């Protein structure tokens, strides 16, 4: 069984042995470590799952970045504050072009409103786009007209990470090579990485590469904690739903 908390812990431990500095995205942008690891979490839904991740990391003295959406299925103020108090970074997982039906001025107002709301709870320095495959809007389009830096935001992974220098791994589609069928969660360098053999399917594949010291020095992981669970019914449900979604996405990408 993959995508269980058990295997997640194994992954973190294997990365710890390799001496990566685990940095929040904010710290990553301000540092120049030779070996660094950013654990980014998109809290699309089930914030309790992301809190479990946050606690596991805190036990191992690891820091990560957690991006919450301004929708009821993600936005849990208790969990947002607890995540920050465990030493993690919290950011805004924005989707304003989507919720404002493509009206960029409305989206900008909506963005600032929710950023301010989040900043009443925690310090926010970075943001990250939510990319719904079903939406016809690209949430990044808001930055064709406006600039998040004017709001004292220093980073958005899609703009502020040089993926020529940072290897990117995402659990999109509930596997590690699912970006091929992803509509928006991809970076151009991935095809080059495949040629270099840097392509992984299961979490165990990554653990093995880590143990053999074959992973690049700088890595950003994107994880969706709702896809990870203790096994049992929720695990099975996620497996079945995700397989179905992958089929639909394949169709959308074509």
Residue nearest to Zn ion (CB): 130
Closest CB 69 distance from Zn ion, rounded Å: 7
The position carrying tokens 């939510």 is 130
Closest C-alpha among 108, 119, 113 to residue 152: 119
Cβ proximity of 42 and 228 under 8 Å = no
Closest CB 34 distance from Zn ion, rounded Å: 30
**What's the length of the chain?**
254
Closest CB 93 distance from Zn ion, rounded Å: 5
d(CA 216, CA 96): 34
Closest CB 254 distance from Zn ion, rounded Å: 22
Distances (CA, A) of 188 to 20, 63, 161, 192: 25, 27, 12, 8
Cβ proximity of 52 and 82 under 8 Å = no
Cβ proximity of 216 and 18 under 8 Å = no
Would you say 130 or 175 has its CB closer to Zn ion? 130
Would you say 73 or 105 has its CB closer to Zn ion? 73
Structure tokens at 69: 């959406």
Residues that bind Zn ion (CB under 5 A): 42, 44, 130
Would you say 5 or 71 has its CB closer to Zn ion? 71
Would you say 2 or 42 has its CB closer to Zn ion? 42
Closest C-alpha among 51, 23, 226, 25 to residue 124: 25
Closest CB 61 distance from Zn ion, rounded Å: 27
Would you say 24 or 222 has its CB closer to Zn ion? 222
């Amino acid at each position: 069984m993959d995508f269980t908390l058990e295997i997640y812990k194994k992954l973190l431990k294997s990365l710890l042995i390799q001496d990566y500095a685990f940095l929040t995205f904010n710290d990553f942008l301000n540092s120049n470590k030779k070996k660094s690891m950013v654990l980014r979490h998109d809290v699309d839904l089930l914030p309790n799952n992301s809190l479990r991740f946050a606690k596991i990391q805190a036990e191992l003295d690891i820091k990560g970045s957690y991006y919450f959406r301004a929708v009821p299925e993600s936005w849990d103020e208790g969990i947002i504050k607890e995540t920050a108090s465990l030493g993690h970074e919290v950011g805004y997982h924005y989707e304003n072009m989507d919720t404002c039906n493509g009206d960029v001025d409305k989206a900008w107002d909506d963005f600032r409103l929710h950023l301010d709301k989040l900043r009443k709870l925690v310090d926010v320095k970075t943001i990250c786009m939510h990319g719904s495959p079903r939406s016809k809007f690209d949430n990044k389009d808001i930055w064709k007209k406006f600039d998040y830096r004017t709001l004292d935001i220093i980073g958005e992974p899609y703009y502020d990470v040089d993926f020529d220098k940072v290897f990117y791994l995402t659990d999109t589609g509930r596997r590690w090579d699912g970006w091929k069928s992803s509509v928006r969660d991809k970076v151009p360098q991935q095809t080059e990485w495949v040629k270099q053999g840097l392509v992984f399917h299961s979490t165990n594949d990554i653990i093995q590469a880590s143990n053999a010291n074959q992973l690049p020095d700088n890595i950003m992981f994107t994880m969706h904690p709702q896809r990870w669970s203790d096994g049992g019914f929720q695990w099975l449900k996620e497996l079945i739903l995700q397989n179905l979604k992958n089929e639909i996405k394949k169709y959308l990408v074509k």
